[in-house]
Amino acid sequence: MVLTPARAGLAAVLAVAITAGAWRAPGLDAAQTPAAGAIRGRLDIRRHAPLPQPRPSVSDLGGRHPHQPPDVRRGLVYLDVAPRSAFDDRDPGRAVMDQRNETFLPRLLAVQTGTTVDFPNSDSTYHNVFSLSRARRFDLGRYAAGKTKSVRFDRPGVVRVFCDIHSHMSAFIVVFNHPYFRVTDADGRFRIDNVPPGTYTVIGWYEGEARAQRSVTVTAGAAADLDLVVP
């Protein structure tokens, strides 16, 4: 396990766009490419991030709006350098980050470049979604319940998302230019499918930092088991 500073978390994701290798066994064309395998395992998060607390506001005088604690149990696992097949043409589609009970749902969203993310407002109050992140800077302005606004993410990197009205609301959108990543379930389990045979460095990412890494070898038609620990 290798621990890295917070800045390395962003650098590790951005590096995929710059250093992703052209992996293919010598002499193999597309028709001869071996069957893919998978990487499965668990990201063991030993200490969860502290929960942000709502800041009192004038609107609280009429009764506090329901506040749902964010889900800080999930992390992200991805290949540090993607195989060549990652750069085939793909349709990234759309994703959703909802706003409900003054919480972004999900708190952690991972997408491919070109994905459009919808930000519906499912609360009874106004929200203002924005980000100052270098990978994608935006400000959607204030909009009411039942409305939705969208943002397209075209550059790989980590995007911190906030609400200008509710200071305790925050989330992460991590953008990749390949499909070899997975957000874990609540127990830390993950499975990355369709990985070409080869040896890869797998990164365990949690709350803004790349915190663990291990090497794994994938063979054709098999699932390689891998566990990572975030202390």
Q: Would you kindly state where each structural domain of the chain is located, as residue ranges?
A: 1-21+33-49+67-88+179-231, 91-177
Residues 197-227: tens digit of each pLDDT: 999 999 999 999 999 999 999 999 999 999 9
The domains spanning 1-21+33-49+67-88+179-231 and 91-177 adopt the same CATH topology: yes
Asked whether the beta carbons of 124 and 63 are under 8 A apart, the reply is no
Residues 40-99: tens digit of each pLDDT: 999 999 999 987 766 655 455 444 556 678 899 999 999 999 887 766 767 789 999 999
Q: What CATH architecture applies to the domain 91-177?
A: Sandwich (2.60)
Percent of the chain beyond pLDDT 90?
70
Asked whether the beta carbons of 211 and 187 are under 8 A apart, the reply is no
Evaluate the CA torsion angle 28, 30, 31, 34 in order and state its sign.
Answer: positive
Task: For residue 165, give Cα distances in angstroms to 62, 144, 150.
Answer: 17, 12, 18
CATH superfamily assigned to domain 1-21+33-49+67-88+179-231: Carboxypeptidase-like, regulatory domain (2.60.40.1120)
